[in-house]
Amino acid sequence: MNRQLCKNLSVSILALAAALPAQLRGQEHPIDAPAAPWWQSAVFYELYPRSFADSNNDGIGDLKGVTSNLDYLKDLGVDAIWITPCFPSPQVDFGYDISDYENIDPMYGSLQDFDHLLAEANKRGIRILLDFVANHTSDQHKWFQDSKGSRTSAHRDWYIWRDGRGPSQPPNNWVSTFGLSAWTFAPTTQQYYYHYFYPEQPDLNWRNPAVEAAMFDVTRFWYKRGVAGFRLDAVDSLFEDPKLTDNPFAPGTDTFGRRNMDEKYNQKLPEVHGVLRGLRKVADEYNAVLIGETYTSSIDELKHYYGDHSSELQLPMDMMFATVDKLSAAEFRKQIASVNSSGGWPVFLIGNHDMPRSYNRYGDRLHDDAIAKLMAALYLTLRGSPILYYGEEIGMQNNDPKSKDDVRDPQGKVGWPTEKGRDGERTPMQWTTDLNGGFSQTKPWLPVPPSAATHNVAAESADPASILNFYKRLLYLRHHEKALLEGEYIALDESNPNVLSFLRRYRNDGVLVVLNMSATAQKVTLDLASHGFAGATHTTLLNDGTGATRSQGADINLEPFTAYIEKLTD
């Protein structure tokens, strides 16, 4: 077929494709459609408030610290911030044990400080999301305090109380994911209560309609204040088998040295979806978004969390992508194809407050900064909404405790030394080269690693080749290139074990992303013609230094761990 004919044909195929209903083209709502939901084009930023910025120098971050750094986030290219729990809490699980859902913990400030943060964020076009911890409360919450008082108290059935199997024997064999039993005996009423996490985090009984009503009201309380949505914590764990059937054991042991369990009777029960549909109805009244902490093990499970006709979570996190544990083009290619096949709008992240930092998980200790940029170029150019974890944009590293005495996360105390806990990925944001990375003038609650001397906002802002400036350029492109925002994803060169290449195509525009995930130089020859870009003009959008070169014809040469992005205009 001659070149012009081929070009004309592909143009008409493109025009045809553009005329197809959006769903058939693999995108539910084109972002430029009047009713397009805001969260499809948003870049989310997960912010751990204890560690972001300390305005009153007590060693712990706070809301005023967040407010005073909104310009930094705006400049970075963030559209929405998810703040991990900042509600009153005894801080056993650093906020994930809530004692009052409708207030702010004094260590972070006040409701007025929160309203001020919302107003300032709003001025900058940044939305605020909160964390909704629905599975459990703190044992200090007034509901639990009442519940444990007597077998007939008003809130008794708000939690899961059962008799033991026999003297000193818990009701069944379920274990807490944090290393201990899932049952704690309460002497006052001579029964056990259930907790999938720490004993200080008793599970709510979601089979009780009063619990559901009270918790749905919590979301209304914050929506009315101006919150744009929630990240739903631990949704997999909301329900348990009422008969308390023992879980079967599975091969191997966990990091606490216990036999693995197939948690079929206390995880991902079908009833979870009813609650999610209910939460979604409330969210829809406020044009809010629900992001799910969804630890799925198959795409069918993930698909289920979107719900039929998108009736559950708009954005269930793809933790299968997030937990890919090696820099492998084949593995990422597989995960991307898999989430795209779900039909929902994907959510991509590479780190959070529960997993070691991506810098350590993918780095090879020789090319760590290049790899951090490469990973950014991956998850920020895919079709879907990305969630950045604070500090990822400056290449923050894990700083694990050196001894058991240094551990703050109880999980690390129980599991030391095989399980060191999650302190390492929660250390203070590195702002400057000053004392404590400029986070606080007092000793911070977790130590700042030596890498703060080079990896901090001030130093990286001044260095055009820094990870931070790379993130900024990428996020700028994301916001300005239609193809990156909503173009379809087309995998290229799919058998290449070293280089992950793909095209994002929106009408006649394309953005080509080429990522060398190997430690050796690579050359790729990509077939763009069959995707409608036979005679396209190529304009480099992003290249890490001179890491990639386009030689004559179709070849692209890439240095080790280089990302190359170009625009194709037909």
| Residue numbers at the binding site for ligand GLC (CB under 6 A) | 93, 96, 133, 197, 233-234, 293, 353-354
* Shortest distance in whole angstroms from residue 533 CB to ligand GLC: 42
* Shortest distance in whole angstroms from residue 468 CB to ligand GLC: 26
CA distances from 72 to 55, 262, 351 (A): 15, 44, 20
Please tell me the distance from the alpha carbon of residue 38 to that of residue 484, in angstroms, as a whole number.
Answer: 15
Range 47-76 burial, b when 16+ CB lie within 10 A, else e? bbbbbbbbbeeebbbbbbbbbebbebbeeb
- The secondary element (H helix, E strand) that includes residue 468 is helix 467-480
CA distances from 225 to 219, 220, 222, 234 (A): 10, 9, 5, 24
Question: 212 or 233: whose CB is closer to ligand GLC?
Answer: 233
Residues 6+ apart with CB under 8 A from 193: 147, 148, 159, 160, 161, 183, 184, 186, 202, 203
Q: Is the C-alpha dihedral spanning 116, 122, 126, 130 positive or negative?
A: positive
- The secondary element (H helix, E strand) that includes residue 85 is none
Question: 120 or 354: whose CB is closer to ligand GLC?
Answer: 354
Catalytic entry in 71, 285, 325, 406: 285
* Shortest distance in whole angstroms from residue 72 CB to ligand GLC: 24
* Shortest distance in whole angstroms from residue 88 CB to ligand GLC: 15
Please tell me the distance from the alpha carbon of residue 425 to that of residue 359, in angstroms, as a whole number.
Answer: 10
CB-neighbour burial class of residue 36 (10 A; exposed 0-12, middle 13-18, buried 19+): middle
Kindly report the number of other CB atoms within 10 A of residue 466's CB atom. 22
* Shortest distance in whole angstroms from residue 229 CB to ligand GLC: 16
Quote the tokens at residue 329.
């083009």
102 is catalytic: no
DSSP letter for each residue of 299-330: HHHHHHHH-GGG-S-SEE--HHHHT--S--HH
Question: 89 or 430: whose CB is closer to ligand GLC?
Answer: 89
Please tell me the distance from the alpha carbon of residue 351 to that of residue 388, in angstroms, as a whole number.
Answer: 7
* Shortest distance in whole angstroms from residue 234 CB to ligand GLC: 4
Question: 239 or 502: whose CB is closer to ligand GLC?
Answer: 239
DSSP letter for each residue of 99-132: S-TTS--TTT--HHHHHHHHHHHHHTT-EEEEEE
Question: 271 or 354: whose CB is closer to ligand GLC?
Answer: 354
Question: 96 or 108: whose CB is closer to ligand GLC?
Answer: 96
* Shortest distance in whole angstroms from residue 353 CB to ligand GLC: 6
* Shortest distance in whole angstroms from residue 69 CB to ligand GLC: 22
Terminal Cα-to-Cα distance of the chain (whole angstroms): 18
Which of 559, 106, 123, 104 has the alpha carbon at shortest distance from 373? 559
* Shortest distance in whole angstroms from residue 487 CB to ligand GLC: 32
Question: 231 or 473: whose CB is closer to ligand GLC?
Answer: 231
Q: Are 91 and 200 in contact (CB under 8 A)?
A: no
Question: 315 or 477: whose CB is closer to ligand GLC?
Answer: 315
* H helix count then E strand count, the chain: 16, 21
CB-neighbour burial class of residue 411 (10 A; exposed 0-12, middle 13-18, buried 19+): buried
Question: 94 or 489: whose CB is closer to ligand GLC?
Answer: 94
Q: Are 500 and 332 in contact (CB under 8 A)?
A: yes
| Closest CB to ligand GLC: residue number | 96
Please tell me the distance from the alpha carbon of residue 378 to that of residue 368, in angstroms, as a whole number.
Answer: 15
DSSP state at residue 536:
-
Catalytic entry in 46, 233, 486, 544: 233
* Shortest distance in whole angstroms from residue 81 CB to ligand GLC: 16
Residue type, 34: P
Please tell me the distance from the alpha carbon of residue 329 to that of residue 339, in angstroms, as a whole number.
Answer: 16
409 is catalytic: no
Question: 88 or 363: whose CB is closer to ligand GLC?
Answer: 88
* Shortest distance in whole angstroms from residue 294 CB to ligand GLC: 11
Residues 6+ apart with CB under 8 A from 46: 81, 82, 84, 231, 349, 352, 353, 387, 388, 389, 390
Ranges of beta strands (E only) in 446-560 are 488-492, 499-506, 509-516, 522-525, 537-543, 548-550, 555-558
Question: 234 or 511: whose CB is closer to ligand GLC?
Answer: 234
Going edge to edge, which strands form the sheet with 537-543?
Answer: 488-492, 499-506, 509-516, 563-569, 537-543
- Which active-site residues does the annotation give? 233, 285
